[in-house]
Structure 1
């Protein structure tokens, strides 16, 4: 059977561009994901170079496991920031590493189940009333971090003071990012986060809150700060880290499947059938496992790169693979890593005001798009429980282990969805047919 070829696109999935075009198109994808991918490690306290490296390697692994049939880029996931920030304070990277590997293992287990039982059960476990509030929690629970970054200047290891200059830098960064989102056109409109970071950095330089010394002292080429078990650290098992991060994998799976649906529409194919959802989940999971073993955060497919493909009509997997290769190369440029590390907290705070709000708004969009009826007590109970426990970070401490509020909220949401009846007793008594 001849391979399907979409004549409406510039380059279809298996079309190979010329060397010159290949370079430009791949760099374009690198820029599209760059701002978000390096922002995650900055917020958590990881090495941005490792995030670039793991995203590039993860993309290449994903393309390999999906048999070169799906054009997708794997970048740092924002869904785990809250838990990773908490783990960074208690366990350091070893705990994050185990949680990241556990996330990948969950993906592989689900991929195995899907291979034998299909995927209908995922929709039952994670309906919109569960997914929407959880995504909202991911964004809103980070609001305090954004506000602190935007307003507080550290004067010592234990003390911070309010700084109006910091807040001014944050607001200018926020305003610039909003303008870029609203008024730019064509490809450059896909880079609002990166452009916002650059603008905020320049403003911070003018305000005198940037220390450029590390950049001048850094070597042009240097190894990323790899964190490899039994090589750079001796691991011990952290149940709390594993059980805090693993449940969130079910949330990111819904995002993953949503991206596959968009790609299906865009490329006029059905990737759920060929190469199959089991292969796409296995590719995503394996990429996260590799990230955990080298020192990076969990990775997930990136909507930014899907946006680039939609606009350019270039769907070639060779272009995405090229972007992955460039990401790996950039990870070894020492001055780039040092430059990223000098981005001051008010710039990150200004970007975070918008970014974390957009994450929360996407959760609200899930509820609206699926017309979730909060007139039903069942939906009201599930949504309310997830929101307050998650945003309030009502963590569970058992022995020496701590399970984040987000993890608890995710588990409770899934359980309530299975346990609660469709209608409350008084709704049935009143003949409520909604």
Structure 2
């Protein structure tokens, strides 16, 4: 007799629940719209082809789902952590060096995954207890708050009241749909919010449809294949500047895994295991480097969608990945999604990022963290201010991001601080 699979009673669709075709399509489109802007922005900033990034994100996500045996509902999109290093390599050594750097970063993931498979992951519970996990998850959400605000308010670096109005209307529409709709429509408030915000933005004249009209219906991405379009020549600069960043994005990876575990009421560090999720993430990044795409990482925006809708189905995430692959070959559809203005994304992000931060707060509440104890107060305070404040540590080309630095500080403080301050000991 097989053991009955756990089902999260709070989920509308749990991890292995498969929706009907049309609900499936709508739910997957919601995830596609949510991640699209950020995923294509990275290659635009670096000088890569956006359609390849869309294609590689879809392939990477499907591989991630396959390797983790369909147990983790995550979407992998373009990573922002590597932008500066990639821009530097692109200007000094060209794309072949960038591709190498991306592949080296993915290899670091694979090496760490193998090490964890050998030594186990029991150490995670010791270095990441609730007093560290809760504030770190809050940092993941609130650390992105400034990005949401900038998207909502600024047009070409200048404050724009019309932009902010569009963002607030988008936020209002999304909240209304989330709170007052029933049935299937209540499951796609993000998609409906984006569509409603887009139509409002179109009405006030901040949407440029010219690129959509000019785009071809079918356009095969200009893949850059190693050994086909260019030859491999070892680049030390690529290894030194890109590989160390993998340790930073691994912190982000674990943070997102913590949030997903909380939302879905699972422990993904134990099943399918951190070694499998890291291996899948690393392999996705390597594939991106081999075909001309950027490195990938799990997306907080899509985690926010999971939290708001309570639809945790991997089939929905897989559907979004399949749509991303298809749309990478359809020029007009890609251009239409790309034409969604920043304030619409900003308005949606106000809600998505806030929900992630709230998940961290809930961890602290559920575990009854006592803030009368100085230890807990100190750890939380340090994590929040360093992480949300944007403090970072930079040594040469290596940069420890604010989220990674805040996590590291939290881990160290948790390990070295005594259970009670001297003033609290009776």
Q: TM-score, normalised by structure 1?
A: 0.76
Name the CA distance, whole Å, in 1 between partners of 2:152 and 2:6. 47
Name the CA distance, whole Å, in 1 between partners of 2:167 and 2:133. 30
Partner of 2:366: 369
Name the CA distance, whole Å, in 2 between partners of 1:45 and 1:112. 30
Name the CA distance, whole Å, in 2 between partners of 1:386 and 1:122. 18
1:352 maps to 2:359: no
Deviation at 1:115, TM superposition (A): 2.7
Deviation at 1:212, TM superposition (A): 0.3
Matches within 5 A, 1:223-372: 223-224=220-221, 236-237=237-238, 242-244=243-245, 246-253=247-254, 255-256=256-257, 259=260, 278-291=275-288, 293=290, 294-296=292-294, 298-300=296-298, 324-372=321-369
Name the CA distance, whole Å, in 2 between partners of 1:133 and 1:228. 42
Q: 3-state SS of the aligned residue for 1:237?
A: helix
1:398 maps to 2:395: yes
Name the CA distance, whole Å, in 1 between partners of 2:305 and 2:150. 30
Name the CA distance, whole Å, in 1 between partners of 2:105 and 2:179. 35
Distance 1:323 1:4, change over 3 A: farther
Q: CA deviation digits over 1:157-216, x for unaligned, max 9?
A: xxx332221221111111111112212233332322222111111111100111100000
Of stretches 351-360 and 200-209 in structure 1, the one that deviates more from structure 2 is 351-360
1:186 maps to 2:183: yes
Partner of 2:75: 75
Distance 1:254 1:86, change over 3 A: same
Deviation at 1:220, TM superposition (A): 0.9
CA RMSD, Structure 1 to Structure 2 (Å): 4.3
Deviation at 1:45, TM superposition (A): 6.3
- C-alpha contact 2:62 2:318 (8 A) present in aligned 1: yes
Q: 3-state SS of the aligned residue for 2:123?
A: helix
Distance 1:28 1:61, change over 3 A: same
Q: CA deviation digits over 1:318-367, x for unaligned, max 9?
A: x8656543431122111111112211222122122222222222222222
Partner of 1:200: 197
Q: TM-score, normalised by structure 2?
A: 0.77
- C-alpha contact 1:186 1:311 (8 A) present in aligned 2: no
Deviation at 1:249, TM superposition (A): 2.1
Name the CA distance, whole Å, in 2 between partners of 1:277 and 1:398. 28
Of stretches 348-357 and 38-47 in structure 1, the one that deviates more from structure 2 is 38-47
Name the CA distance, whole Å, in 1 between partners of 2:393 and 2:333. 39
List runs of 5+ in structure 1 lacking aligned partners. 155-159
